[in-house]
Chains A and B, each alone.
Chain A
């Protein structure tokens, strides 16, 4: 659904943030977009929302360039930014003004979510806390029912019960017609929701794999003595938890935090294993 090819971007008089990025996003999936601070996650999301223009390459939705900002495309994209300012309006008024831009917007869904988040339509946005404002935007984004929903650090500012609510909402929001991209540092908040991992590093895509391939090729846990030589990456601070090539071992749950650190420390090695280019025991 979304096709990014050879994308390059830098801010004025600044270093290159994204260089030669090529990615595909398809509907029915929840993508996790990861990367260390300043690796261009938010920039990529803004490019996908048509808010920034690529210096080179393109970002297309169903073969239409998103930087053209065609109405037909823009009404199918909604972005919840990490940081934002909202006007001094009631939630109800905010919905009235913004909903008409999104043909598939569902009022019922929006007010159900607002209630679920313990907010009321009469409340003024300017009187809400940051976390509450974020809830309004998340509720709006989900109810807009756009083909593409972009969420930049959605759980930042949410209290503990709201994180669980957020996961429930996302689990119910994704369907065959929707593609959800979530950028985050809060791996633990979203781990069970994501089914595809994209990691940015040094202005490039260093990892881009579905969960199914990761759990098929990699094994996460404490390595037994006889498997020490198969360790791809390990950390004492994780109780010596390690990433190994799975081979014929039982499937384990993907440890996203460990995977992220493993990719950042040595992207080639882990990619070769997942793509099946290298085997641990070559004779």
Chain B
């Protein structure tokens, strides 16, 4: 895992979990890797991995079964979707708007690109 400089590593691990849940690699009520396994995979101090697990537990994305391990919550997928959507609308989109203004990109142009993209994705599915 390559870490970007700004974001705390534990939050980058959290994002890695979110992604696995969103792409349905980790399903609801499915067991996920242990703290130690995650620490070794992403090459971090286990304390950093524990911080990520604690954060995910607070967000109710995962839960702990004592002595067995960690599992994706019943509503894990929905919760992650909500969190990431909020982040997209609140953080990523304003940044894109800012850049659009800077580069003088019209909303119509973006809409056109977006429609094209959706069409391509749908075509591929067929």
A120 proximal to B (CB < 8 A): no
Partner-binding segment picked from A40-48, A89-97, A121-129, A249-257? A249-257
Q: How many residues of B contact A (CB 8 A)?
A: 18
Give A168 to B40 CA distance when docked, in angstroms.
5
Residues of B27-74 contacting chain A, CB below 8 A: 36, 39-48
- SS class of chain B's interface: helix, strand, loop or mixed? helix
Q: Within 8 Å CB of B5, what residues of A?
A: 220, 253, 255
Do A168 and B6 touch (CB < 8 A)? no
Q: A168-B40, A171-B40, A172-B36 are in contact. Are A194 and B45 (CB under 8 A)?
A: yes
* A229-265 vs B, Cβ < 8 Å mask (1 yes, 0 no): 0000000000000000000000111010000000000
Do A193 and B44 touch (CB < 8 A)? yes
Do B9 and A167 touch (CB < 8 A)? no
B8 proximal to A (CB < 8 A): yes
Give A195 to B48 CA distance when docked, in angstroms.
8
A118 nearest CB across to chain B (Å): 18
Q: How many residues of A contact B (CB 8 A)?
A: 21
- From the candidates B11, B36, B48, name the one contacting A192 in the complex (CB within 8 A): B48
Do A164 and B43 touch (CB < 8 A)? yes
CB-based nearest A residue for B12: A253
Do A193 and B7 touch (CB < 8 A)? no
Do B45 and A171 touch (CB < 8 A)? yes
Q: Within 8 Å CB of B11, what residues of A?
A: 251
> What are the 4 tightest A-B residue pairs by CB atom distance, in nearest-first order?
A167-B43, A171-B39, A192-B44, A195-B45
User: Which A residues have a C-beta under 8 Å from some C-beta of B?
Assistant: 28-30, 164, 167-168, 171-172, 174-175, 192-195, 215, 220-221, 251-253, 255
User: Which B residues have a C-beta under 8 Å from some C-beta of A?
Assistant: 3, 5-9, 11, 36, 39-48
